[in-house]
Amino acid sequence: MINLEIPKKAEALVNQAYQAANEVFRPISRKYDRAEHSYPSELDMLASLIDGLNSSGEGGAGASGVRKDDNDEGGKKNVNGANLRTVVGTIEMCWGDVALLLSMPRQGLGNAAIASVADPEQLERFAGTWAAMAITEPHFGSDSAAVSTTAELDGDEYVLNGEKIFVTAGERADSVVVWATLDKNKGRAAIKSFVVEKSRPGIRVERLEHKLGIKASDTAVIRLENCRVPKENLLGSPEIDTKKGFAGVMETFDNTRPLVAAMGVGVARAALDETARLLSEAGIEVDYDRPANAQPAAAATYLQLESDYEAAHLMTMSAAWMADNREPNSLEASMSKAKAGRSVVDITLRCVELCGTLGYSEQSLLEKWSRDSKILDIFEGTQQIQQLIVARKLLGKSSSELK
């Protein structure tokens, strides 16, 4: 039986994350939404605190990964709920501001990939780096298997060539985890991930994107031209295993998709809390002891939105719990990401609608959250891709059988 209550040992982390969200993120949220591409320097001290939490094993707000190679009872032991702690911390932080969380130094999705699949030597070598994740390219969006950036082995180094777009924290990060193919003729199995330090010749930021939401977070286009990295920077095995195919590199998503789902849960909770406050000020109280059809229409709608939120919340927690307990969670990771991604968009837009002019104006953060929410339904695999993955898992179909 899965107990999805917050463990007592995680309560301190949740409280600290809430305090950071309420006292650091919320006060500067509007400031950096208006000042797109400006770095929130207020985050530096907070990032140092989270580094300390990670070092102590308490979990941070996005950089923790799920190790699958532990030698404890065949890798079946619950390792103190590390992934669950990261998820609940992420929910609290995104209740404050999801764009500011994405701007936190050393808490990028690339850090989660390194923490999940790097070997012990790489973990030590890349400790303290701030890593972005670079997958998408100009000619494809959600089909990660279509990667055309190349990595050719030349002596003791790989030479990378290609262009990556929509790289979150691409300008500010110290390193980029780049997905590239070792051999285009061998298909998905040849796609590997490489840690590329930004200081290396041949990697440069071409431009920053102007976006609908998450404006505090920089989103970059990155070009690699004969960029040389040591072969030790390849994450995982350099062998091309056509039997295992794309599964190895895709395992990264089993860890990062629940984190993105947690971001959606946090933003949805923020919108619901603000809406409940504004409805109360308007004289509309939500009564949990009466049926929805016996309450004002606004209260009935709110109850519907809250039930949608609860479903996304529980699915996200379940996917994290499975990861911590070494249970395969690819299906649940995609289900949680699909559910939370769709729910947060629906919830924030309906909250704007319920609150009328207050929801649409900048008097409240509701309109900002409605803009921020859309990216959570897109990156780390769109809604449509998640549904496709779920269908393949449930029907036992391969990617070639169900497209």
Give the angle subtended at the CA of 215 by the CAs of 117 and 350, to the nearest 5°: 95
Q: Give the Cα separation of 180 and 154 in Å (integer).
A: 15
Question: Residue 154 in 3-state DSSP?
Answer: strand
Q: Give the Cα separation of 93 and 101 in Å (integer).
A: 7
Q: How crowded is the C-beta side of 4, counted as CA atoms within 13 Å?
A: 13
φ, ψ at 160 (rounded to 5°): -105, 135
Q: Give the Cα separation of 295 and 306 in Å (integer).
A: 15
Alpha-carbon dihedral 83, 84, 87, 92, rounded to 10 degrees: -140
Cα-only R_g, the chain: 21
216's tokens: 């505090």
DSSP sequence for 269-333: HHHHHHHHHHHHHTT----TTS-GGGS-HHHHHHHHHHHHHHHHHHHHHHHHHHHHTT---HHHH
**Options 137, 232, 380, 401, the catalytic residue:** 380
Q: Give the Cα separation of 365 and 367 in Å (integer).
A: 6
Q: Are 224 and 196 in contact (CB under 8 A)?
A: yes
Annotation marks residue 209 as catalytic: no
Rounded alpha-carbon distances, angstroms, from residue 32 to 27, 61, 99, 116, 197: 10, 20, 9, 31, 27
DSSP sequence for 328-372: --HHHHHHHHHHHHHHHHHHHHHHHHHTHHHHHSTTSSHHHHHHH
Q: What is the set of active-site residues? A: 380
